[in-house]
Amino acid sequence: MPAHDFVSPDSIRAQFSAAMSLMYKQEVPLYGTLLELVSEINQQVMAQQPEVAEALRWTGEIERLDQERHGAIRVGTAAELATIARLFAVMGMHPVGYYDLSSAGVPVHSTAFRAVHEQSLHISPFRVFTSLLRLELIDNPQLRELAESILAKRQIFTARVLELIDQCERDGGLDAADAEAFVQEALHTFRWHHDATVTAEQYQQLHDQHRLIADVVAFKGPHINHLTPRTLDIDAIQLGMPAKGIPPKAVVEGPPTRRHPILLRQTSFKALQEKVAFSDQQGSHTARFGEIEQRGAALTPKGRQLYDKLLDATRAALGGAPAEANAERYMALLKDTFAEFPDDLAQMREQGLAYFRYFATEKGLAARDQDDRPTTLEGLIEAGHVHFEALVYEDFLPVSAAGIFQSNLGDDAQAEYGSNANRDAFEAALGLQVQDELALYAQSERRSLQACAQALNLGSM
C-alpha cells in the first residue's frame, strides 16, 4: 500500500477522541451535562473577555477548545502498559513525563500519552494520563500473588486491535477503513465492564488493601475513569456545578485564580456507584468520576520551581492536605502566597518564568524589507513587529493528580508508601523512555522564533 493512502495518526487520534467522548457520554450521562456547562461558560468568557478570545485566536487554541479533553486509565501489568504504548503510538500519542504518586499514598506511577508537536496538538490535543499499578509496594505477599494471578489471565485488547497495531507498525500506517476499524476496536479496551473477574470476597480483599487495587485488578479492562473537558474559567464551573446537580470536590487543585493562568487548575466530582456482577453475586463499585480543567502557561524550570515553592509554602501554612473542612482557608492562603508570582505576560517573559510563542504581526510583515527596522527580538517586540503569547501547558501536575486520585478514592483511603519514584522501572515496563516535557516546550518556542525570523526576512532572532 503506498504511503499516501494512509490516514495521518493525528486524524486517527481526533476520531478516537470523538468516539471516546461519545461512549463516555452514554456510559456517564453527567459527563454530557458537564460538557454543556463547560461550553456555556466558554462562550460567556469569550464574549465578556475579548482579550482571552484574542489570545486564543493568536495561538489557534480557539479551534481546538471544543474538542479538548484528557482521559485517565490504570493498567495492571508491564505487558499491558507496553501494548497500550503501541496502541497510542498508532494515534501519534507518545509518553511524556514521569509522575510518581507513591509519595501521595497512591501505589501507581504514571505518564501522559499525547501528541508532541504543536501542529499535531492543534489537530487534536487529546491526552491520556496512564498509570501502572505497583504491586511491589504492597507488603502482603498472598494478596500480591492473588492480584498477579488474576491479572495474568486477562487480555485487555481485542485480537483485531492487536493485528491492526502489528499491521500499522509493519506498513507504517493504516488506510481509512483500517483506521476506522482500529478506532472501534481500540475503544473496547477503555469500556466499562459490568462483569467483574473475581468473586465478591476477592474483590473485598483487594479493596481492603487499597481501593485502587480493586479497581485495577477486579475488572476485565482499564475502563476510562474520567474524561476531562477544558474550561476557560474554572471558578465559574466550580460555582455552577451544584446548580446542575454535580457536587464538586472541596478545592480546585493547582495555582490560584489569575488574570494570566499558569499550568493547570482542576476540579472533579465524586465517583459514581455502579452495579457490578462479581463471579458469584451482585455488588457495586465506585471508579468513574468527572473532572474539569483550565490550562495556562507552560512554565520554564525556573517558573516551575517558583510554582512548587509557593505551593509547598501554602500547604505548610495550612498544616495539612486541603479538604472539605479547611477549603476556604486553603484557597485564601493560596491566593496570598502566589502574589509573589507575577501575573503579567511581559514580566513572566522578562523573568524567564514561562515559555512563549512568537508571531510576526501585520506591521512586522509590512516592514520586512525596510533597512532601518529593528532586528533583535526585544526591538521587534517593542516596535510591534512581533507579538507573543504564552505556550499552553499540555501536561499534568503530580500534586494535583494525587488530589484528584484522593478525592475519588475517599479521604479515608490514605496509605503510606513513602517516596518510591522509580522512573527506570516504569520505562522498562513501558519499553520506551518517556519524553521530557520541558524539552518539548523549548523546541516549540524555538520553532515559533524561527518561523518569525523567516517571515520577517531575518537570518535569526
Please list the alpha-helical segments (H only) found in 338-397. 345-350, 362-366, 377-382
Q: 285 touches which of Ni ion, ligand OOG, none (CB within 5 to 8 A by kind)?
A: none
Which among 151-159, 180-188, 362-370, 393-401 is the span making contact with ligand OOG, rule CB under 6 A?
A: 393-401
Q: 288 touches which of Ni ion, ligand OOG, none (CB within 5 to 8 A by kind)?
A: none
Q: 400 touches which of ligand OOG, Ni ion, none (CB within 5 to 8 A by kind)?
A: ligand OOG
Does residue number 68 form part of the binding site for Ni ion (CB under 5 A)? Answer: no
Q: Say what the alpha-carbon torsion angle 108, 118, 377, 456 is, to the nearest 10 degrees.
A: 170
Does residue number 74 form part of the binding site for ligand OOG (CB under 6 A)? Answer: yes
* String marking each residue 113-132 x if it binds ligand OOG according to CB under 6 A: ----------------x-x-
Q: 396 touches which of ligand OOG, Ni ion, none (CB within 5 to 8 A by kind)?
A: ligand OOG
Centre a 10 Å sphere on the Cβ of residue 350 and count the other Cβ atoms it contains: 11
Among residues 268, 320, 300, 315, which one has the least CA distance to residue 445?
300
Which among 6-14, 32-40, 61-69, 398-406 is the span making contact with ligand OOG, rule CB under 6 A?
A: 398-406
Among residues 130, 29, 139, which one has the least CA distance to residue 86?
130
Which among 36-44, 50-58, 136-144, 397-405 is the span making contact with ligand OOG, rule CB under 6 A?
A: 397-405
Pick 61 or 291: Cβ nearer ligand OOG: 291
For 23, the grid coordinates are 461512549
Does residue number 404 form part of the binding site for ligand OOG (CB under 6 A)? Answer: yes
Pick 434 or 453: Cβ nearer ligand OOG: 434
Report angle CA 212, 214, 218 to the nearest 5 degrees.
135
Does residue number 137 form part of the binding site for ligand OOG (CB under 6 A)? Answer: no
Pairing of strands 386-390, 226-229: unpaired
* String marking each residue 280-309 x if it binds ligand OOG according to CB under 6 A: -----------x------------------
**Which of residues 72, 90, 196, 381 is near ligand OOG by CB under 6 A?**
72
Element (H, E) at 212: helix 211-217
**Which of residues 15, 21, 205, 266 is near ligand OOG by CB under 6 A?**
266
Q: Say what the alpha-carbon torsion angle 50, 249, 326, 410 is, to the nearest 10 degrees.
A: -160
Does residue number 291 form part of the binding site for Ni ion (CB under 5 A)? Answer: yes
**Least separation in angstroms between CB 129 and ligand OOG:** 4
Residue pair 230/295 in contact (Cβ under 8 Å)? The answer is yes
Does residue number 394 form part of the binding site for Ni ion (CB under 5 A)? Answer: no
Q: How many CA atoms lie within 13 A of 48 on its CB side?
A: 8
State the sign of the Cα–Cα–Cα–Cα dihedral 276, 277, 278, 281.
positive
Pick 273 or 376: Cβ nearer ligand OOG: 273
How many residues make contact with Ni ion (CB under 5 A)?
Answer: 3
State the sign of the Cα–Cα–Cα–Cα dihedral 121, 124, 129, 132.
negative
**Least separation in angstroms between CB 166 and Ni ion:** 30
Q: 405 touches which of ligand OOG, Ni ion, none (CB within 5 to 8 A by kind)?
A: ligand OOG
How many residues make contact with ligand OOG (CB under 6 A)?
Answer: 12
Does residue number 389 form part of the binding site for Ni ion (CB under 5 A)? Answer: no
For 158, the grid coordinates are 481485542
Please list the alpha-helical segments (H only) found in 248-376. 301-318, 327-337, 345-350, 362-366
Q: 131 touches which of ligand OOG, Ni ion, none (CB within 5 to 8 A by kind)?
A: ligand OOG
Residues 197-236 that bind ligand OOG (CB under 6 A): 225
d(CA 172, CA 237): 43
Pick 300 or 406: Cβ nearer Ni ion: 406
Pick 74 or 295: Cβ nearer ligand OOG: 74
d(CA 257, CA 400): 15
Please list the alpha-helical segments (H only) found in 28-140. 29-48, 50-59, 61-64, 78-90, 118-123
Which among 64-72, 216-224, 311-319, 421-429 is the span making contact with Ni ion, rule CB under 5 A?
A: 64-72
Q: How many CA atoms lie within 13 A of 110 on its CB side?
A: 29
For 449, the grid coordinates are 522564533
User: Which residues of this protein are in contact with ligand OOG, per CB under 6 A?
Assistant: 72, 74, 129, 131, 225, 266, 291, 396, 400-401, 404-405
User: Which residues of this protein are in contact with Ni ion, per CB under 5 A?
Assistant: 72, 228, 291
